[in-house]
Amino acid sequence: MYGSIRFEEKFSKPENRIRLILDFESGRMVVYNAPIVEVDFLENIEDRLSKELGIDPLRNWDEEKLFNMLIENRDRVIGEVLLDQSVFAGVGNILRNEILFRSGIRPDRRISDIPEKKLKLLIRITKRLCEEFLDSKLKGRGIKRLLMVYNRKYCGRCEGKISYYRDEFTGRKTFFCPNCQS
């Protein structure tokens, strides 16, 4: 969910952020900031993505399949599995933190220790939040107002102090509220 695609003649962002320019007769397409840019026929890309990637909230959503995948990964830690693109496709680090917060689950909890009901809640929240993030971005409002825990000192719900550390499994910034998540 990084980067942006714009149809424009004059660059609206600094040139060092440009990753791809395609000139068509009808106009120019510019891709900014994307970490990976692939150009191929749609069916080739879809075919490959369906083999490499897991369940994408915006593409091939399937709650039951995702739940079964979580159970298959029951010996792993939820904060790590949320970033595993072969399980949750399209979930980045900010979303990971916010999904765990809204589900009331600590990032370092082993999946086998999380009640089934809470796992199902996490699955539903994943889809809802991905859509909210996208919607907010598309409307040009950014995502900052949606952040309850990420990059915050105090919890967006209970106002308690947020704990922060670098995840030992993923090396990513991890925030959680000791009051709201268990």
For Zn ion, the binding residues (CB under 5 A) are 155, 157-158, 160, 177, 179-180
Strands 163-166, 18-24: pairing is: unpaired
- Percent of the chain that is helix, strand, coil (3-state, to 5): 35, 15, 45
- Our CB check for Zn ion shows the closer of 3 and 104 to be 104
- Our CB check for Zn ion shows the closer of 60 and 163 to be 163
Nearest residue to 163 (alpha-carbon basis) of 110, 108, 121, 124: 108
- Our CB check for Zn ion shows the closer of 82 and 155 to be 155
Beta-carbon contacts of 136 under 8 Å, excluding residues fewer than 6 positions away, are 142, 143, 145, 146
Minimum distance from residue 150 beta carbon to Zn ion (Å): 13
In the chain, the DSSP E strands lie at 4-7, 18-24, 27-32, 163-166, 173-176
Q: Is 126 exposed, middle or buried (0-12, 13-18, 19+ CB in 10 A)?
A: buried
- Our CB check for Zn ion shows the closer of 32 and 176 to be 176
Minimum distance from residue 18 beta carbon to Zn ion (Å): 40
At 149, the amino acid letter reads: V
- Our CB check for Zn ion shows the closer of 51 and 153 to be 153
Minimum distance from residue 61 beta carbon to Zn ion (Å): 29
Minimum distance from residue 112 beta carbon to Zn ion (Å): 25
Minimum distance from residue 95 beta carbon to Zn ion (Å): 18
